């Protein structure tokens, strides 16, 4: 017989979120997604599938695109997290936001924060991506409204603007 | 029902010795978690039976790729992204780099690890056939010491492995002797991105004057474990590639695999596609010589 599981205790997690040091008391197995939304009230990060398939909970963890629904918050202790709220104050956002608006890259809006994070991650690695790079970079982000073409076009346009300006 | 985080423990010892000591203190109780792309899915669905988890994401020894003259050694917690970005992996172990690019989207490649793929032991895992054809060896480590197991003996039955209750996968070692081979990686799924395979093939071969000098074949999603097609390899070795050989290879493949009907496909479809993929590889081998 397995003994009953020992209950877990909350402890202080300290990490940088959008450039500010944040301290929260959390259980180690709480999902980063829930800590961002519930404790830090950063509700721009959305929950879609909750199993790493849809990308709507995408954030940057130490500069890497991750699904925050699959990250236990203990693994974010001491790390640097950037959410959509942190991107929106960044210069990069200007080009992406304008392009998403112009191309109709956002409709219901649930996938949009994740799409933007995935696009930022892609453009940091490849400032002038080919369409195949964009398709691959956003393959983990599902959209049920746009049919994707407007989103691919928005990222293409954003890259072009950033390069030409 | 969603899991209650208060019912789970997650500890982060931060170094390999402390991880091994804790695992040994209560064998089979502590589940290692690296990038969480398998463990957290089960956890969130309320289906994770282990209540004690041990963080191995932050163990430096497990995150290195070391290059030696005769082999490379990949730490078990190296991510698919690290594999794709590594110069030697992408040049000499193209099947592995390609399989890494098939595994989920970028966010999952940034977190999913090669050791996790092995330990999770899904017969549908994309990177495992590549490890089979590259003759991988896994190093298993515990407080008792290290031992090396040929990867082709690691999976013993559906989701059963050679890993003992107190052991951790430390690294995966690949000999650097396949760079002269023609390689072929093919995945068949419902869509290009983010899909679990219906069938996938990793193949290596050498041909001269139309004759197969060496051939190595492994498939995913066609048996309870990632499968080496040893019978088919034996039937092909030393033979001239011609249409009758390709036909008989299809029949040998069909005899050797043990596919099932499941949510992703049927046994019949898998058997037909498995034969087609081997035929496609043999045609590629022939073409490599005529194009050379």
Who contacts A132 (Cβ-Cβ below 8 Å, separation ≥6)?
none
**Of A86, A102, A118, which one is at a domain's C-terminal end?**
A86
Based on the fold, state whether residues A106 and A73 are members of the same structural domain. no
Round to whole Å and give the CA distance between B178 and B107.
30
The pLDDT assigned to A5 comes to: 41
CA dihedral A132, A137, A139, A142 (to 10 degrees): -130
Q: Which two tokens stand for residue B125?
A: 């895992």
Who contacts B224 (Cβ-Cβ below 8 Å, separation ≥6)?
B123, B157, B158, B258
Q: Bridge-partner residues for B155, per DSSP?
A: B161
**Number of structural domains chain A divides into:** 2
Q: What is the mean pLDDT of chain A?
A: 92
CA distance B220 to chain A (A): 21
**Cβ contact, residue pair B44, A67, below 8 Å:** no
Counting one residue from A and one from B, how many pairs have CB atoms under 8 Å apart?
A: 113
Based on the fold, state whether residues A71 and A95 are members of the same structural domain. no
Based on the fold, state whether residues A58 and A80 are members of the same structural domain. yes
Which uninterrupted H or E stretch holds B251? helix B243-256
Question: In this predicted model, what pLDDT tens digit does every residue of B105-149 receive, in sequence order?
Answer: 999 999 999 999 999 999 989 999 999 999 999 999 999 999 999
**Of A86, A114, A131, which one is at a domain's C-terminal end?**
A86
Q: Is A2 part of a structural domain of the chain?
A: no
ipTM: 0.94
- Domain holding A128, by residue range, is 90-164
The pLDDT assigned to A2 comes to: 36
If one compares A79 and A163, the residue with the highest pLDDT of the two is A79
Crossing angle for the helix pair A149-164 and A91-103, to the nearest 10 degrees: 140
Average pLDDT over residues B153-170: 96
Give percent of chain B above pLDDT 70: 98
Average pLDDT over residues A4-22: 84
Q: Is residue B197 very low, low, confident or very high in pLDDT (cuts 50, 70, 90)?
A: confident
Average pLDDT over residues B46-63: 96
Contacts of B8 in chain A (CB under 8 A): 5, 8, 27-29
Q: Is A15 part of a structural domain of the chain?
A: yes
Under a CB-based contact definition with an 8 Å cutoff, are residues A142 and A126 in contact?
A: no
Q: Bridge-partner residues for A24, per DSSP?
A: A13
Q: Is A19 part of a structural domain of the chain?
A: yes
Residue B30 pLDDT greater than 80, yes or no: yes
Please name the member of A30, A52, A139 whose beta carbon is closest to the beta carbon of B5. A30
Strand, helix or coil for residue B204: strand
The pLDDT assigned to A163 comes to: 60
Question: In this predicted model, what pLDDT tens digit does every residue of B87-108 receive, in sequence order?
Answer: 999 999 999 999 999 999 999 9
**Of A59, A86, A113, which one is at a domain's C-terminal end?**
A86
**Cβ contact, residue pair A140, B45, below 8 Å:** no
Q: What is the mean pLDDT of chain B?
A: 95
Residue B82 pLDDT greater than 80, yes or no: yes
Tally of CB atoms within 10 A around B242: 11
Residue to test with chain A: of B44, B106, B196, most A Cβ within 10 A: B106
Q: Which two tokens stand for residue B230?
A: 């040893």
Under a CB-based contact definition with an 8 Å cutoff, are residues B62 and B41 in contact?
A: no
Q: What is the CATH number of domain B60-175?
A: 3.30.465.10
Tally of CB atoms within 10 A around A89: 9
Q: Is residue A1 very low, low, confident or very high in pLDDT (cuts 50, 70, 90)?
A: very low
Round to whole Å and give the CA distance between B77 and B230.
29
**Cβ contact, residue pair B107, A75, below 8 Å:** no
Which uninterrupted H or E stretch holds B44? helix B39-44
Query: What percent helix, strand, coil does chain A show, rounded to 5?
Result: 40, 15, 40
Contacts of B103 in chain A (CB under 8 A): none
Closest CA to B43 of B80, B12, B1: B1
The pLDDT assigned to B243 comes to: 95
Contacts of B3 in chain A (CB under 8 A): 29
* Site of tokens 């896994």: B138
For the domain that residue A37 is a member of, what is the CATH number? 3.10.20.30
Based on the fold, state whether residues A55 and A20 are members of the same structural domain. yes
The pLDDT assigned to B79 comes to: 98
Contacts of A15 in chain B (CB under 8 A): none
User: Which superfamily, per CATH, for B187-291?
Assistant: CO dehydrogenase flavoprotein, C-terminal domain (3.30.390.50)
* Site of tokens 């002038």: A128
Give percent of chain A above pLDDT 90: 82
For the domain that residue A157 is a member of, what is the CATH number? 1.10.150.120
C-alpha torsion sign, points B110, B61, B53, B38: positive
Based on the fold, state whether residues A102 and A74 are members of the same structural domain. no
Under a CB-based contact definition with an 8 Å cutoff, are residues B275 and B269 in contact?
A: no
- What is the layout of strands, in order, in the sheet containing B137-142? B65-67, B71-75, B168-175, B137-142, B145-150
Based on the fold, state whether residues A46 and A79 are members of the same structural domain. yes
Q: Give the residue on A whose Cα is nearest the Cα of B51.
A: A5
Residue A165 pLDDT greater than 80, yes or no: no
Residue B68 pLDDT greater than 90, yes or no: yes
**Cβ contact, residue pair B106, A31, below 8 Å:** no
Based on the fold, state whether residues A96 and A81 are members of the same structural domain. no
Based on the fold, state whether residues A80 and A104 are members of the same structural domain. no
Q: Bridge-partner residues for B205, per DSSP?
A: B182, B215
Based on the fold, state whether residues A94 and A154 are members of the same structural domain. yes
The pLDDT assigned to A4 comes to: 39
The pLDDT assigned to B290 comes to: 82
Question: pTM for this structure?
Answer: 0.94
Based on the fold, state whether residues A97 and A153 are members of the same structural domain. yes
Q: Which two tokens stand for residue B92?
A: 């000499």
**Cβ contact, residue pair A72, B40, below 8 Å:** yes
Q: Is A4 part of a structural domain of the chain?
A: no
Average pLDDT over residues A84-97: 84
CA distance A17 to chain B (A): 19
Based on the fold, state whether residues A26 and A81 are members of the same structural domain. yes
Delimit the domains of chain B by residue range: 6-55, 60-175, 187-291
Residue A152 pLDDT greater than 50, yes or no: yes
Based on the fold, state whether residues A72 and A106 are members of the same structural domain. no
Task: Tell whether A38 is within 8 A of chain B (Cβ).
Answer: no
Question: In this predicted model, what pLDDT tens digit does every residue of B260-289 receive, in sequence order?
Answer: 888 888 999 999 999 999 999 999 999 998
Under a CB-based contact definition with an 8 Å cutoff, are residues A65 and A56 in contact?
A: no
Q: Is residue A91 very low, low, confident or very high in pLDDT (cuts 50, 70, 90)?
A: confident
Residue A63 pLDDT greater than 50, yes or no: yes
The pLDDT assigned to B292 comes to: 66
Q: Is A113 part of a structural domain of the chain?
A: yes
The pLDDT assigned to B1 comes to: 64
Question: In this predicted model, what pLDDT tens digit does every residue of B213-248 receive, in sequence order?
Answer: 999 999 998 999 999 999 999 999 999 999 999 999
């Amino acid at each position: 017989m397995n003994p009953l599981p020992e209950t877990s205790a909350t402890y202080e997690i300290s990490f940088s979120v959008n450039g500010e040091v944040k301290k929260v008391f959390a259980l180690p197995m709480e999902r980063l997604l829930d800590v961002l939304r519930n404790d830090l009230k950063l509700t721009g990060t959305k929950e879609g599938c909750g199993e790493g398939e849809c990308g709507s909970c995408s954030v940057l963890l130490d500069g890497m695109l991750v699904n925050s629904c699959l990250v236990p918050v203990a693994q974010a202790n001491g790390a640097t997290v950037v959410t959509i709220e942190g991107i929106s104050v960044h210069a990069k956002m200007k080009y992406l936001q304008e392009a998403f608006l112009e191309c109709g890259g956002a409709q219901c809006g649930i996938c949009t924060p994740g799409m933007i994070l995935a696009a930022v991650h892609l453009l940091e690695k490849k400032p002038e991506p080919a369409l195949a790079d964009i398709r691959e970079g956003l393959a983990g982000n599902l959209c049920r409204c746009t049919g994707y073409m407007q989103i691919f076009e928005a990222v293409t346009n954003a890259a072009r603007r950033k390069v030409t300006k | 029902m969603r899991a209650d985080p208060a019912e789970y423990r997650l500890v982060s010892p931060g170094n390999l010795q402390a991880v091994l000591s804790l695992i040994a203190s209560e064998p089979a109780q502590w589940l290692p978690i690296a990038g969480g792309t398998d463990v957290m899915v089960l956890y969130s669905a309320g289906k994770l039976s282990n209540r004690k988890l041990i963080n191995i994401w932050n163990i430096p020894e497990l995150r290195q790729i070391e290059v030696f003259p005769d082999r490379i050694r990949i730490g078990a917690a190296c991510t698919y992204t690290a594999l794709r970005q590594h110069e030697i992996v992408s040049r000499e172990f193209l099947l592995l780099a390609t399989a890494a690019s098939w595994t989920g989207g970028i966010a999952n490649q940034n977190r999913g690890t090669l050791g996790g793929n092995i330990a999770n032991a899904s017969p549908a895992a994309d990177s495992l056939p590549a490890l089979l054809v590259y003759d991988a060896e896994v190093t298993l480590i515990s407080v008792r010491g290290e031992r090396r197991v040929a990867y082709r003996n690691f999976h013993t039955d559906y989701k059963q492995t050679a890993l003992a209750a107190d052991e951790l996968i430390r690294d995966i070692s690949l000999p650097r002797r396949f760079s002269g081979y023609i390689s072929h990686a093919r995945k068949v799924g419902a869509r290009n991105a983010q899909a679990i395979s219906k069938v996938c093939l990793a193949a290596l071969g050498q041909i001269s004057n139309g004759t197969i000098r060496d051939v190595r074949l492994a498939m995913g999603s066609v048996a309870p474990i990632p499968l080496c097609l040893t019978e088919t390899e034996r039937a092909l070795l030393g033979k001239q590639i011609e249409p009758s050989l390709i036909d008989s290879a299809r029949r040998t493949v069909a005899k050797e695999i043990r596919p099932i009907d499941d949510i992703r496909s049927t046994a019949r479809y898998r058997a037909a596609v498995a034969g087609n993929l081997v035929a496609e590889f043999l045609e590629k081998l022939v073409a490599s010589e005529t194009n050379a």
